[in-house]
């Protein structure tokens, strides 16, 4: 599926329709952050942040990279 296909675009818009995911994306735009940092900044539980990060990764809107013992987004 091409990134510009209607199905791909609908998936991205659906992903961005959630306010929590928009806040997490905003928190990640200036620099890479660990899940712990995103939990602290958002006030959400770690499982909930991880859930939303997985959805953002699957939609191609976030990337993860390991730095030592930390996974950064």
Which residues are bridge partners to 71 per DSSP? 66
Predicted structure pTM score: 0.76
By C-alpha distance, which of 51, 45, 52, 54 is closest to 21? 52
d(CA 58, CA 10): 13
Domain-located, residue 56? yes
Tens digit of pLDDT for each residue in 4-17? 788 888 989 999 99
Distances (CA, A) of 16 to 2, 26, 29, 52: 18, 11, 14, 11
Tens digit of pLDDT for each residue in 33-73? 999 999 999 999 999 999 999 999 999 999 999 989 888 99
Q: What is the CATH number of the domain that holds 29?
A: 1.10.10.10
Domain-located, residue 23? yes
Residue range(s) defining the domain that contains residue 56 = 6-72
d(CA 11, CA 18): 12
- Are 53 and 62 in contact by the 8 Å Cβ rule? The answer is yes
């Amino acid at each position: 599926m091409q990134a510009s296909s209607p199905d791909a675009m609908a998936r991205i818009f659906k992903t961005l329709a959630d306010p929590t995911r928009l806040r997490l994306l905003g928190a990640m735009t200036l620099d890479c952050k660990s899940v712990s940092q995103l939990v602290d900044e958002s006030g959400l539980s770690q499982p909930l942040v991880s859930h939303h990060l997985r959805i953002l990764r699957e939609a191609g809107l976030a990337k993860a990279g390991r730095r030592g013992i930390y996974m950064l987004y």
